[in-house]
Chain A
Amino acid sequence: SQQGEEDPQALSIQEGENATMNCSYKTSINNLQWYRQNSGRGLVHLILIRSNEREKHSGRLRVTLDTSKKSSSLLITASRAADTASYFCATPNFNKFYFGSGTKLNVKP
């Protein structure tokens, strides 16, 4: 029973375009985190947004959170081929830590 579900499942764009991926979750949260996974590797933390925040920026990343809709979005601006990876949202739930199903992003050079 995962907390988060991302969409789309896969996204293919050209270098320089923006990429937007969405995450929906099921229960109330303290914060929501986004992670990146390169093929065949572990996940790496990108950004955390607290439940009382609506938007957060980090470099080319912009995250929004709408707690009324139980949803978050991750925007990667001016994408690069090196951004090709899978992106997951994660929601801590007391002692557990749940991840969504991920969005596979392919940035074509």
Chain B
Amino acid sequence: DGGITQSPKYLFRKEGQNVTLSCEQNLNHDAMYWYRQDPGQGLRLIYYSQIVNDFQKGDIAEGYSVSREKKESFPLTVTSAQKNPTAFYLCASRVSYGQENEAFFGQGTRLTVV
């Protein structure tokens, strides 16, 4: 089945640690996105990538980093510079050309600082 997979589902981070959230898709999509969702809030764009080896900052990129070495994979690292990382993180992908393409989402990773 084609889809987008995020792992782990739950992640706990100690203060000062970097953690990496995985996002893999087998939909052959060029574009991939990372969003952060706080309780009862909407989605805020962290980073996005339109093509392998290229990515751009979204609205809240500070304290986060990404890589796009393979088309299928777009991992997000939450660094120690992110002061309030506890949130629900969602990865999405879509066909990049044209704007009439829907986004497909993973099931999310819930990150908690302990």
Binding site for B on A (CB under 8 A): 1-2, 30-31, 33, 35, 40-45, 48, 50, 88, 90, 92, 94-102, 104
Contact = CB atoms under 8 A, between A and B. Distances in A.
Tell me whether chain A's interface is mostly helix, strand or loop, or mixed.
Answer: strand
Contact of A95 (B48, B103, B110): B48
Nearest to A90: B103
Contact of B43 (A30, A92, A99): A99
Contact of A101 (B42, B59, B99): B42
Given A97-B92, A100-B42, 17 more contacts: A1-B59, A2-B42, A2-B59, A33-B102, A41-B107, A42-B6, A42-B92, A43-B92, A48-B102, A92-B100, A92-B101, A95-B31, A96-B48, A97-B48, A97-B94, A99-B35, A102-B41
B64 interface: no
B107 A88 contact: no
Interface in B43-63: 43-45, 48, 50, 56, 58-59
Nearest to A41: B107
Nearest to A91: B99
A50 to B, nearest CB: 7
Nearest to B4: A42
A31 B90 contact: no
A55 B90 CA distance: 30
A30 B99 contact: yes
A46 to B, nearest CB: 9
Contacts of B74: none
B75 interface: no
B42 A99 contact: yes
B56 A95 contact: yes
